[in-house]
Amino acid sequence: MTEILKTLRLFLLLMCHHPEVQTRLKAEVDTIIGTERFPCPEDRKWMPFTQAVMLEIWRYGSQTPLSIPHLCQKNVELDGYLIEAGSVIFPNLYAVHHDEVTWGDPWEFRPERFLNEAGELLPSDHILMQNVIPFSVGKRECPGQDFARSRIFVTMTSLMQRVQVVPPKNSNLPPADPRLYSKAYPMTEPQFECRFLSRENIII
């Protein structure tokens, strides 16, 4: 659950920093969901930009930077390297998510990178999709990911339906750049305040 909260906190901070992304999210929410019903997880398949924002938050923030350590139980050879039995492996998701060769501009928050020219989500075999792995990969990948993906989607879209997220009036908004997060484990984005302004014409 903490991980869901961390994603939502970073979402709010990034919306304060990127009003243009928020405007585009709201436009997608208004078109697909409207103002007369609650969002549901099934709406996701018609909302590529919202999905791209979620992927970009997970990539950019890399909230579980070193995943969960694993113990290697027997000698394994991988790509010419010997990993000895008894070694502890820390999968470096943060490095995968910020590799300049893969991403080009990894320190930019740019959800559009996950969309093609027609505004559709890239196919799952695209190199960028293969390299966004917030829930890790393989047999031990996060068992809570379907739950997390659907809850985060419903919360984000419900907020976009109802409020405008804006920076605080009388205090500074900290930067969202992950290079500046606390290096304690797990890595944590800074504390911040923001304001919710009610949107007009909401029926539900």
Tell whether residue 186 is a contact of ligand HEM (CB under 6 A).
no
| Residues ≥6 apart with Cβ < 8 Å to 156 | 8, 11, 25, 50, 53, 54
Query: Interface mask (CB under 6 A) for ligand HEM, residues 145-184, using x and -?
Result: --xx------------------------------------
Q: Among residues 45 and 140, whose Cβ is nearest to ligand HEM? A: 140
Torsion over CA of 186, 151, 16 and 127, rounded to 10 degrees? 70
Q: Is 135 a binder of ligand HEM (CB under 6 A)?
A: yes
Q: How far is the CB of 183 from ligand HEM (least distance, A)?
A: 18
Q: Per-residue x/- mask for ligand HEM, residues 59 to 98, rule CB under 6 A?
A: ----xx--xx------------------------------
Angle at 108 between CA 124 and CA 22, to 5 degrees: 80
**Whole-angstrom Cα distance, residue 42 to residue 184?**
37
Q: Is 142 annotated as a binding residue?
A: yes
| Bind-site residues for heme | 142
